[in-house]
Amino acid sequence: MKLCSYHFIFLFASCSIRSSAPLMYTTLMTSTNKIASLTSASARSLHATANHDGNENNIILQSECHCGKVVLDITLPREYSSDDADVKFLNCRCYSCRRYHTASHVSYLQVPRGQISINSPKMLRKYTSSCSSLDEGTDKVMERWYCTECSSKLLSVVSTTITKNDEKSEREQSSDCLVNLGPINSDTIPQAHSRRWKEQLKQIENNLHSSQEESPSCRWADVLPSNTEMSYSARRRMQLPYAKMWSGSCECGACKYEITLKRLTQLQHCYCNLCRKLSGSPYSTWLPVDKEHFQWKQSDAVTLVRTTPVGQRHICSKCRGVLTIVYDEQPNLIWPCAGGLDDATLPDTSGEMGMLLSRVCHICCRHLPPWIDLPEDDTEKLPDAC
């Protein structure tokens, strides 16, 4: 049976649950992998029956959370022009989007809400926050929807406060949704569509808040090490003449930390499926810090969740922001997510930021989505983690 659009409308009408809903994580992975894969397979089988719905002019994209319990089917025309008003691709680098997704930016597919169906709408909850791309001075907010089981960030919808008959105020959702591109399964994207997505995402008008004045911390996304006359082995041992104090937090501010940087660190941009699903963004960026130089300043909402057989992540139980990775084989290190760093504590220029880096690399590139091009620079592009 095809999940109709009214399931989607039911989702937004019925799930007005506060953002601090308790976590219901499973201790992933080995014990739940089979369950997750069966759930995912069942959902795919159900959708496959009606994927084209007799209309060969359409394609069905699938977006799936990490645990496999939420699957979105997005119907798009097989052929559409780049100026099609109903289908748009956007990059947003505003502070709220970067902080919620703990990433340099988030990439969205804007699509009419009636073109999305969801297999398990009750598994979704929303976190409501602002977005600088919304009209200033209005009552619009961004409802950001995530999987309650694994915290994967899947889509957003704009809502507006409407007062009816001078009485009770209600929230009215936009007719369009912003689907996060990060969790979309690459094998459901036709090659021709990937090329069009790349073209649209490179257009200036589709890159919101992309200037340094609007989004100054995005400089870490493109920065390179400045001490290139030294070898990497020498740079990684290099101590700073005096410590740098950085701070970071989740979007809601319930989890805050402080870093005392005493030696050069590095940036690893990761494109693995897990990072893209949990963040909802094209990639996540991680930097290693000595654990003794990392301190939680506010941690009531911090939850340590095992997300792989070899590592755990600190995740906010209120806004579901992913803050760090802790690997079992690296007991003395913690890897904060660069997207959670506070803008005000970072260096003023890219050059100064580069002076604090021993290395910048792109990892898990074998999982690179087909709508992303790696930068043409001298950074390492590695197929797997390092």
pLDDT tens, position by position, 292-325: 999 999 999 999 999 999 999 999 999 999 999 9
What per-residue confidence (pLDDT) applies to 260?
97
- Which carries the bigger pLDDT value, residue 28 or residue 366? 366
Q: How far is CA 183 from the centre of its chain?
A: 8
Least trusted range by pLDDT, from 3-17, 136-150, 238-252, 312-326: 3-17
What per-residue confidence (pLDDT) applies to 233?
79
CA separation for the pair 112, 311 (Å, rounded):
38
**What share of the chain has pLDDT > 70, as a percent?**
78
Least trusted range by pLDDT, from 95-109, 166-180, 268-282: 166-180
What per-residue confidence (pLDDT) applies to 287?
96
The pLDDT-based confidence of 130 (bands split at 50, 70, 90) is: confident
Tell me: the pLDDT tens digits for 80-126?
Answer: 655 565 678 999 988 899 999 999 999 999 999 999 999 999 999 99
Can you give the pTM of this predicted structure? 0.83
Q: How many CA atoms lie within 13 A of 147 on its CB side?
A: 27
CA separation for the pair 103, 85 (Å, rounded):
27
The pLDDT-based confidence of 18 (bands split at 50, 70, 90) is: very low
Least trusted range by pLDDT, from 36-45, 246-255, 282-291: 36-45
The pLDDT-based confidence of 4 (bands split at 50, 70, 90) is: very low
The average confidence (pLDDT) of the chain is 82
Q: 82-85 long-range CB contacts below 8 Å, 24 or more apart?
A: 82/196, 82/199, 82/200
8 pLDDT higher than 70? no
Residues contacting residue 285 through CB under 8 Å, at least 6 positions apart: 103, 104, 220, 221, 267, 268, 269, 270, 337, 338, 339
Core vs surface per residue 107-144: b (16+ CB within 10 A) or e: bbbbbebebbbbbbbebbbbbebebebbeeeeebbbbb
Please give the biggest Cα pair distance in the chain: 70
Please list the alpha-helical segments (H only) found in the chain: 5-14, 33-49, 95-101, 191-202, 219-222, 232-236, 273-279, 350-354
62 neighbors 188 (Cβ within 8 angstroms): yes
Instruction: Compute the average pLDDT of residues 258-287.
Output: 96
